[in-house]
């Protein structure tokens, strides 16, 4: 299957949006494009699995190469393995949902959908790129749309948050760039990931470059202490944007940290692993505790995202096959779950015009559907079996526990402890905002979800449950590649 399609579809969608005038047509265009993309993603998944069944053992499938800047060793080089397919699938789902959720967007709708599509395009390109240059290209391609989405359509202190987000993400990618150039120079002028993987950089070089690449991507996935863009950014962003932000863009970081840092610089990864684990444990527990104190629903979810992405980092840092698999699962799961959560918050906010849990209350009575969606999202994020979160977190725990020494054990226990704190703040938030007596008179006549919201939520919930009930399909998809990465470590 031709991977360039994954870029052509959004591109043509964007062009279509530019040409069209009426917002109705534009959003239709966007929806159609994203749904085609989802179809493509599923087709890709099937094609991949059939190819594997037919015994194709090459590391990356459906490779596509085109010399772009030959004299600099820069090329368009695409290819996918299980991990990237999982991410592509996630992206496609979230994009469809996000576009459906912003169906009513009237103010400058054209620009809005255009930016959404561009953002998604950046993600797709990032996940299929095997060339560090084009990967970096797509990584930065996604930054400015985020900025504009937040700054123009956001709420609250949107400009501050948008600037902060853009700058911190840019800083992250700047670090990544330094690391990449270092690898490029030492590996003999190549940006090709597969060649770099064979290059075996000397340990000193790895030690020098690893922090840049890892922390750079860490900023994207809100690693402590570079996570502060996340709460402000998420809370100021419009619904779809925060869905994309938390659902897709934070995953760029995790994916990059796993692929570019750990896989390409394995020895350094082992060297720095304790540090990573410490950071991750801090992020997990500290994020959770910080969440307990938040009053704003979006802040709650944003901080919980920090805590949940801590699991991704932890899984990566633990460097066992299971934990890495768990990290990818967690990325997938967190993407869907947090997107759903933000969607629910957005729906509430549209209607009640407040996100302060103090002011909300008793909404279950007037908007049962939305409240149920929020409940499901909440239960998923506190790791209830039957939802994706449980599977992912348990896999991470299991993988972490495989390292038998006290340090790793303690870190794992700290991480486990977070499930209690998570329960506390999730229930606090849900209880205060949805249950109890109705706080505000005008809540009594608020409408429940509309068709597009229902479809979108259903899509997300179904995919969450698909992972929650039958994790094995994704697990089997990821494990081989996780194994590959761990083998690179020489374990």
Give the Å distances, CA to CA, from 250 to 179, 219, 336, 402.
Answer: 19, 9, 12, 27
Q: Determine the interface stretch with other proteins among 19-27, 261-269, 424-432, 440-448 (rule: CB under 8 A).
A: 424-432
Q: Which is nearer to other proteins, 39 or 472 (CB)?
A: 472
Q: State how far the Cα of 114 lies from the Cα of 423, in Å rounded to an integer.
A: 38
**Minimum gap (Å) between residue 299 Cβ and other proteins:** 9
- Nearest CA to 242 among 109, 153, 181? 153
* Number of residues counted as binding other proteins (CB under 8 A): 90
SS3 for 407-443, per residue? HHHHHHHHHHHHHHHHHHHHHHHHHHHHCCCCCCHHH
Residues in region 384-403 near other proteins by CB under 8 A: 384-386, 390-391, 394-395, 397-399, 401-402
Exactly one of 6, 90, 148, 187 binds other proteins (CB under 8 A); that residue is: 148
Q: Which is nearer to other proteins, 255 or 299 (CB)?
A: 299
Residues 203-242 as x/- pattern, contact with other proteins by CB under 8 A: -----x---------------xx-xxx-x-----------
Exactly one of 356, 431, 444, 487 binds other proteins (CB under 8 A); that residue is: 431
Q: State how far the Cα of 272 lies from the Cα of 467, in Å rounded to an integer.
A: 32
When asked if residue 170 is in the footprint of other proteins (CB under 8 A), the reply is yes
Partner residues linked to 58 by β-bridges: none
Residues 26-65 as x/- pattern, contact with other proteins by CB under 8 A: ----------------------------------------
Backbone angles phi, psi at 220, to 5 degrees: -65, -40
**Residues 342 and 252: beta-carbon distance below 8 Å:** no
When asked if residue 166 is in the footprint of other proteins (CB under 8 A), the reply is yes
**Minimum gap (Å) between residue 382 Cβ and other proteins:** 8
**Minimum gap (Å) between residue 322 Cβ and other proteins:** 5
DSSP string, 208-261: HHHHHHHHHHHHHTT-TTS-THHHHHHHHS-HHHHHHIIIIIHHHHHHHIIIII
Query: DSSP class of residue 356?
Result: B
Q: Which is nearer to other proteins, 48 or 76 (CB)?
A: 76
Q: Which is nearer to other proteins, 140 or 359 (CB)?
A: 140
Q: Determine the interface stretch with other proteins among 51-59, 167-175, 234-242, 256-264 (rule: CB under 8 A).
A: 167-175
Backbone angles phi, psi at 199, to 5 degrees: -70, -30
Residues in region 312-351 near other proteins by CB under 8 A: 321-322
When asked if residue 7 is in the footprint of other proteins (CB under 8 A), the reply is no
Give the Å distances, CA to CA, from 235 to 116, 124, 161, 243, 267.
Answer: 18, 25, 9, 11, 38
Helix or strand or coil: residue 160?
helix
Give the Å distances, CA to CA, from 161 to 98, 181, 314.
Answer: 21, 30, 27
Residues in region 352-391 near other proteins by CB under 8 A: 362, 364-365, 379, 382, 384-386, 390-391
Exactly one of 1, 292, 465, 466 binds other proteins (CB under 8 A); that residue is: 292
């Amino acid at each position: 299957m031709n991977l360039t399609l994954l870029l052509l579809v959004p591109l043509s969608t964007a062009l279509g949006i530019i040409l069209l005038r009426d917002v109705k047509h534009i959003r239709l265009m966007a929806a159609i494009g994203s749904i085609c993309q989802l179809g493509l993603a599923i087709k890709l998944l099937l094609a991949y699995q059939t190819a594997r069944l037919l015994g194709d053992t090459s590391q990356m499938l459906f490779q596509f190469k085109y010399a772009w800047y030959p004299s600099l060793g820069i090329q368009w080089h695409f290819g996918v393995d299980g991990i990237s397919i999982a991410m592509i699938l996630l992206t496609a789902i979230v994009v469809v949902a996000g576009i459906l959720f912003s169906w009513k967007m009237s103010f400058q709708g054209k620009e809005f959908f255009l930016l959404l599509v561009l953002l998604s395009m950046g993600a797709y390109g990032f996940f299929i790129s095997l060339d560090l240059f084009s990967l970096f290209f797509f990584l930065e391609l996604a930054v400015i749309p985020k900025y504009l989405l937040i700054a123009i359509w956001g709420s609250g202190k949107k400009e501050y948050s948008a600037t902060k987000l853009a700058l911190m993400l840019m800083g992250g990618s700047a670090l990544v760039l330094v690391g990449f150039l270092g690898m490029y120079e030492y590996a003999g002028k190549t940006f090709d990931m597969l060649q770099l993987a064979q290059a075996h950089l000397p340990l000193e070089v790895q030690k020098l470059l690893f922090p840049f690449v890892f922390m750079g991507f860490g900023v994207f996935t809100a690693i402590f202490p570079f996570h502060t863009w996340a709460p402000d950014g998420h809370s100021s962003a419009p619904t779809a944007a925060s869905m994309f932000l938390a659902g897709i863009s934070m995953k760029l970081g995790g994916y990059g940290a796993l692929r570019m840092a750990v896989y390409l610089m394995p020895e350094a990864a082992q060297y720095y692993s304790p540090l990573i684990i410490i950071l991750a444990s801090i992020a997990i527990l500290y994020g959770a505790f910080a969440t307990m104190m938040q009053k704003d629903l979006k802040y709650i979810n944003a901080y919980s995202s920090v805590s949940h992405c801590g699991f991704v980092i932890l899984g990566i840092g633990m460097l066992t096959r299971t934990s890495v698999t768990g990290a990818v699962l967690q990325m997938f799961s967190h993407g869907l779950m947090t997107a759903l959560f933000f969607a629910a918050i957005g729906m509430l906010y549209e209607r009640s015009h407040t996100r302060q849990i103090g002011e909300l209350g008793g909404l279950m009575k007037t908007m049962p559907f939305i409240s149920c969606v929020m409940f499901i999202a909440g239960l998923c994020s506190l790791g209830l079996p039957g939802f994706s979160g449980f599977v992912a977190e348990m896999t991470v725990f299991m993988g972490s526990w495989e390292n038998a020494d006290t340090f790793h054990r303690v870190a794992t226990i700290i991480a486990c402890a977070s499930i209690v704190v998570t329960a506390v703040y999730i229930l606090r938030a849900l209880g205060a905002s949805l249950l109890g007596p109705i706080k505000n008179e005008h809540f009594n006549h608020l409408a429940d979800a509309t068709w597009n919201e229902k479809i979108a939520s259903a899509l997300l919930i179904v995919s969450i449950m698909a992972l929650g009930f039958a994790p094995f399909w994704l697990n089997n998809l990821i494990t081989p590649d996780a194994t590959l990465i761990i083998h690179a470590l020489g374990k």
